A and B are shown apart, each in its own frame.
Chain A
Amino acid sequence: MNAKKELQVSAIENGTVIDHIPAEYLFQVINILGLDNCDNSVTFGNNLESKILGKKAIIKIAEKFFEDDEINKISLIAPHAKLNIIKNYQVVEKKIVESPDKVIGIAKCMNPKCITNVEAVTTRFKVIEKTPITLKCHYCEKITDHKHIEII
């Protein structure tokens, strides 16, 4: 990052920075990653200027390093998110979010006649296309395209 620029969210010594989250999905990302129930210190900023997204959000989680399949869950709503792994105030690793092969319990099936919208069934999808992300319901076998993905 540009050292001259003032940081909009204070730096962390060790941990993970998740950048380029679409502003409207900040709280859903927090939800999906379970940060609302996490003891680490979490700082975030929302509606920050972004060249790519217009308005973006950023989250910094101290002393937390995610497993890939844990972080890939957010790819549904934040496909451009980037992770910076921070050790001793330095970026030691950069990661991009990748689409998972399966999506379980995060998204809603867009088919109103699907059993997952009628009874309390955990949704399950196969990712049949990664860009743009396209989901096929394990139950009703209908397609939910990226424009219709709704996070539960």
Chain B
Amino acid sequence: MDNKSLVSIDDYTKEEILEVLARAAEFEKNPNCNLLEGKVVASLFFEPSTRTRLSFETAISRMGGKIVGFTDSSSSSVTKGETLKDTTKMVSNYCDLVVMRHPIEGSARYASEVSDVPVINAGDGANQHPTQTMLDLYSIYKTQGTLENLNIFMVGDLKYGRTVHSLLMAMSHFNPTFHFIAPKELEIPLAYKIFMNKNNIKYHEHTEFNDIINDADILYMTRVQRERFADPLEYEKVKNVYILKNDMLENTRDNLRILHPLPRVNEIAVDVDENPKAYYFQQALNGVYARQAIIAKALDL
């Protein structure tokens, strides 16, 4: 039973994305309900996560469901050498829905094929994290009133950032113009440029982080991580270039909102937090509503 699972953002059509966003707006108005009454959700976190796990557990609790599971693999039978297949098979017998985070890429797709109940991917290594993408989309939709024809600026690590890649794929339904701001070492991978060329999506690449952001509707910041650089000198050169400071926002559009998947380290200066254009903390809250909508869809509720 694979069809109700959400493993990759590509599993949703454009219509399904819009349906889930509309549902998320309803949950935002009335977060507490009893849709999951009598249902058990297994929350299998094979690697630790704070935000994603708490936001899922909050979503489930607010819908009246019960949660079973573990928060890292050291407290599960994985330490005894059990395979993912066996763990998934066994747990899917107990529950109505599986929420899973796993460090191995492709593990969520495999689990969805083994499981008798739907699986929601809460991150499979560097591969996919579709519920993050849905909360990003919900945040964009809510702050801009539309997903169509927006100028989306993405800044930082565009090479390894899975949230960047999934958001790019999802936004491709809505005629965006992308601007990518990144050091050469962390530029957007070729595969995505080919994808955008094939689909006639407008994009521009920049290495300078300056007043070009004045045209932005959405500024999507990500962390530039030291461990991504083979040469530590290269990291030292770029580490302070991709930092957003409050004075850079002076001439930006009124509707601009700044998103960040969090955790932030230093790529957004603390003085930005007070700016009304800063949206990353509300964005994290939107994750609860987006996940409520995704759970409801997975269970046909």
Contact = CB atoms under 8 A, between A and B. Distances in A.
Interface of A: 109, 111, 113-116, 118-121, 137-143
Interface stretch (B12-20, B105-113, B243-251): B105-113
Given A140-B127, A141-B8, A116 B106 contact: yes
Given A140-B127, A141-B128, A111 B105 contact: yes
B49 interface: no
Given A121-B110, A138-B109, A143-B191, A115 B104 contact: yes
Interface residues of B, number: 17
B176 interface: no
Nearest to B103: A113
A118 B104 contact: yes
A-B pairs, top 3 by smallest CB distance, nearest first, are A139-B106, A140-B106, A140-B105
B35 interface: no
A119 B114 CA distance: 13
Contacts of A137: 106
Contacts of B85: 119, 121
B241 to A, nearest CB: 29
B126 A139 contact: no
B105 A114 contact: yes
Nearest to A109: B106
Nearest to B86: A119
Contact of A141 (B83, B84, B104, B106): B106
B105 A139 contact: yes
Given A109-B106, A113-B105, A114-B104, 18 more contacts: A111-B105, A113-B126, A115-B104, A115-B105, A115-B107, A115-B110, A118-B104, A119-B84, A121-B110, A137-B106, A138-B109, A139-B105, A139-B106, A140-B105, A140-B106, A141-B105, A141-B106, A143-B191
B31 interface: no
B125 interface: yes
A114 B127 CA distance: 9
A145 B84 CA distance: 28
A45 B85 CA distance: 43
A139 B83 CA distance: 16
Contact of B105 (A119, A120, A142, A143): A142
A120 B105 CA distance: 14
5 contacts: A115-B107, A138-B106, A138-B109, A140-B105, A141-B8
B211 to A, nearest CB: 36
Nearest to A142: B105
B110 A113 contact: no
B11 to A, nearest CB: 11
Best-buried of B8, B83, B110, B124 by chain A (most CB within 10 Å): B110
Contact of B110 (A111, A119, A142, A143): A119
Best-buried of B105, B107, B124 by chain A (most CB within 10 Å): B105
Contacts of A115: 84, 104-107, 109-110
